[in-house]
Copies of this chain bind each other. A is one copy, B any other.
Amino acid sequence: MGDRTGNRPSSRRSDGELALLRRIRARTGKAAGAGVRLGIGDDCALLKARAGEELAVTTDLSIDGRHFRLDWHPPEAVGHRALARGLSDLAAMGARPVAAFLSLGLSPELVQNIKAQSASKAWVERFYDGLLALAEKYKTPLAGGDLAQSPVVAADVVLIGAVRQGHALLRSGAQSGDRLYVTGKLGGAAAGLAQLARLAAAGSAKRTVSGSGLRIPGKLAAALEPHLHPQPRIAQGLWLARHGAATAAIDISDGLSTDLHHLCEESGVTAAVDAASLPIAPYAALDQALHGGEDYELLFTAAPGASIPRAIAGVPVTQIGRILRRRAGRPAITLLTGRGAQPLAPRGWEHFSWLSKPR
């Protein structure tokens, strides 16, 4: 990131660092979209506001050892995932992306990596490759940020989006009788992460240069894809907001069980989920579909009479349950299986807590 837009150097830059900053600035300049009047190069970025729109803002902090691991994840995937989290929050509000901002803390090793300017691409450049590829796909210019040396690699991504006034999808609008839907498939990200953990544990995976993550065998690429490169459901969120089709929405970042609890809590309702109807991802198990985080699919509700298509912009939409009136003494959310109804507790996946490195 730049040395400007709130991007002051935290120490004097080496020639290698300055060259990197210039390259990043050139790349982000190209990505500038219609909503950005002034990007990197001043005290603040300037974004255009359209009459009749509201701004949606979200921030997501990704930290080595908590949300990713330098020794496991390819740098491109770290960049992709850091941005995908925020884009998914915009999708869940039905907002179109306007701009992204990145505050990046780099460890002394990675700064040294830049200074060395070796033949192999620096970690940070590969990180930007992944982040900017996703940003371009969703027409989201990187308009600023901050850069600092840090004992731990950390990326804080801010997403700013716009949505027509009063049309944002909220968590709080679900009503008894509504149908419960989900986009795409569930559990794929958790299954992919489990696969990545097995790869690391096996020790059979060859390490590339330090901090470049595990070398991923071609035959595992498909299984790891939902974890390494989740796709935010921007088009689907925009469709729902434009058609006023959803009464409430949230993205599945912590796992279906936990995010459904959030939605029900904010709406003052409860829900019943039909286990047989769940669109379980290939390679995934039921538990991963119920509690696995980071699928970044949209979970939404719609009135019984609403016309919800089977797919939106090429992504399938599946009805997985119903919204019910909350009653004292009844479990908050139930899972309906062939063996009857059982409580569905919020066992949302604990972000990488089991993945943490001893320090």
- Could you list which residues of chain A lie within 8 angstroms of chain B, going by C-beta atoms? 4-6, 8-12, 37-38, 41-51, 53-61, 63, 65-67, 85-86, 89-90, 92-93, 95, 99, 101-105, 143-152, 154, 156, 158-163, 168, 170-172, 249-251, 253-254, 262, 266, 350-353, 359
Asked whether A66 lies within 8 Å of B150 as measured between CB atoms, the reply is: yes
Q: Can you report 20 residue pairs joining A to B where beta carbons are below 8 Å apart? A: A4-B262, A11-B66, A12-B350, A41-B171, A43-B171, A43-B251, A44-B90, A46-B54, A46-B57, A47-B54, A48-B54, A48-B55, A49-B50, A55-B55, A57-B101, A59-B145, A61-B156, A63-B148, A63-B149, A152-B152
| A61 vs B61: C-alpha distance when bound (angstroms) | 11
Smallest CB-CB separation from A353: which chain B residue?
Answer: B11
| A5 vs B61: C-alpha distance when bound (angstroms) | 12
Asked whether A59 lies within 8 Å of B154 as measured between CB atoms, the reply is: no
Asked whether B86 lies within 8 Å of A6 as measured between CB atoms, the reply is: yes
4 nearest A-B residue pairs (beta carbon):
A6-B58, A49-B49, A156-B156, A44-B56
A58 contacts across to B, CB distance below 8 A? 5-6, 43-45, 144
A38 contacts across to B, CB distance below 8 A? 168, 170
Smallest CB-CB separation from A145: which chain B residue?
Answer: B59
Asked whether A150 lies within 8 Å of B63 as measured between CB atoms, the reply is: yes
